[in-house]
Structure 1
Amino acid sequence: MARPEIYVSTDVEADGPIPGPHSMLSFASAAFTAGKELVGTFSANLVTLPGAEGNPDTMAWWATQPEAWAACRADQEEPAAAMIRYREWLEGLPGKPVFVGYPAAYDFMFVYWYLIRFAGSSPFSHSALDIKTYAMALLGTDYRATAKRSMPRSWFDDAPHTHVALDDAIEQGALFCAMLAERFSEARERRA
């Protein structure tokens, strides 16, 4: 019997647009079953990469987010230790991990780069599921017109978007699971 998919909603906080010249400051994952059961979380704040620098525009944005900045700079650990722990956590989940992000292109780029660089492999392989793209498909809207403000309120829990990685990973994972539930409901109706 195939292992079930576990949807690993992941949020990254970084000091620039790409890994290498810039650093992933903090990341967190919230692992959900398709039925919206939260089966585990992981979070880490990381020491910046040697020789990397904060992007001026990104750092100007961080200056407007003092609480989130303080949260992502507390209890920092070396990337190698954190990414090995993270890979082991992913491998211990009760199913096959599927990376879920909003936007997946940004978050996955950092997580994948750090996993390969510091842990040697990625349990996600080379793929990620983008919440905005999934919403576009469900809603039948254009990609650029698809935004949280245009999504049904029923998809959202009361969780805030704080720019603290774990808060945002949980919020976005719950959103994705609500979207899955709608898709499954529509599929059942079509079969009936």
Structure 2
Amino acid sequence: MSYILVDVEADGPIPGDYSMISFGAVLVTPGLDQTFYGQLKPISEKFVPEALAVSGHSREQTLNFDEPVKVMEQFAGWIREVSRDQPILISDNNGFDWMFICWYFHHFLGRNPFGHSSQNLGSLYKGLTKDVFKNFKHLRKTKHTHHPVDDAKGNAEALLVMKNEMGLKIRL
């Protein structure tokens, strides 16, 4: 399986009513050198200013981003290019990130290359340490900046620490 770490920035809590503003993805390999970054034009007039502010972009800037169908087509092509088999989406908060990625793929392309499931990095770490109160974020090397490629890369670094230093059995 090909693990792809994804991070999403959005201007509200749910897709459809609100918009995915940008997302980053990194193929989890030792070099973490294959990444994708997309910026998407809003699909709705609604937005939560505080949520949008996290992305670092103004509403005016986002209105000049690429059409979502174009970005999702490019992302699907990148996934095909870097995946040697079934891609698995993994993220820090897959309840949020998966919801947007899955919705956008189905809404704009009619299919989701990741299939019907995803993995949660935080839950994986809690199971590995056998402690539901533990948090993996100290394992990141790349600073968490809310630029989605940086955040995906930091989370992928944490997954590699789990594999290489903590004994997680995973094929990358």
- The alignment's TM-score, normalised by the length of structure 2, stands at 0.86
Unaligned runs of 5+ in 2: none
> Contact conserved, 1:102 with 1:130, CA < 8 A, in 2?
yes
Unmatched runs of 5 consecutive residues or more in structure 1: 188-192
Residue 178 of structure 1: SS of its match in structure 2? helix
CA–CA distance in structure 1, aligned partners of residues 119 and 50 of structure 2: 29
Question: Once superposed, what is the RMSD of the aligned Cα atoms?
Answer: 2.4
1:95 Cα deviation from its structure 2 partner = 1.7
2:167 corresponds, among 184, 187, 190, to 184
One-letter amino acid of the counterpart of residue 46, structure 2:
E
- The one-character-per-residue Cα deviations of 1:143-186 (angstroms, maximum 9, x if unpaired) are xx23246xxx5x332x1100011111111111112112235378
Deviations 1:10-62 (A, max 9, x none): 000001111000000001101113xx23251111110000x44113xxx2254
Match of 1:53 among 42, 46, 51: 46
Shift >3 Å, 4+ stretches: 72-75, 182-187
1:45–1:74: 8 Å Cα contact kept in structure 2? Answer: no
Percent sequence identity over matched residues?
Answer: 28
Instruction: Give the counterpart letter for 1:68 in structure 2.
Output: G
Contact 2:12/2:47 (CA < 8 Å) preserved in 1?
A: yes
Q: Which has the larger radius of gyration?
A: 1
Q: Distance in 1 between matches of 2:135 and 2:67?
A: 35
Q: Is the 8 A contact 2:12 2:52 kept in 1?
A: no
Tell me, yes or no, if the aligned pair for 2:89 and 2:118 is still in contact at 8 Å: yes
Match of 2:74 among 85, 97, 100: 85
Aligned partners of 1:10 and 1:28 also within 8 Å: yes
Tell me the distance in 2 between the aligned counterparts of 1:185 and 1:133: 13
Query: CA offset at residue 74 of structure 1?
Result: 8.8
In the superposition, relative to structure 1, how do residues 182 and 43 fare at CA in structure 2: closer, same or farther (>3 Å)? Answer: same
Mapping of residues 30-45 of structure 1, within 5 Å: 30-33=26-29, 36-45=30-39
- What corresponds to 1:163 in structure 2? 146
Q: 1:101 aligns with which of 86, 91, 110?
A: 91
**Contact map agreement 1:45 1:75 (CA 8 A) in 2:** no
- Report the TM-score when normalising by structure 1: 0.78
Matched positions, count = 167
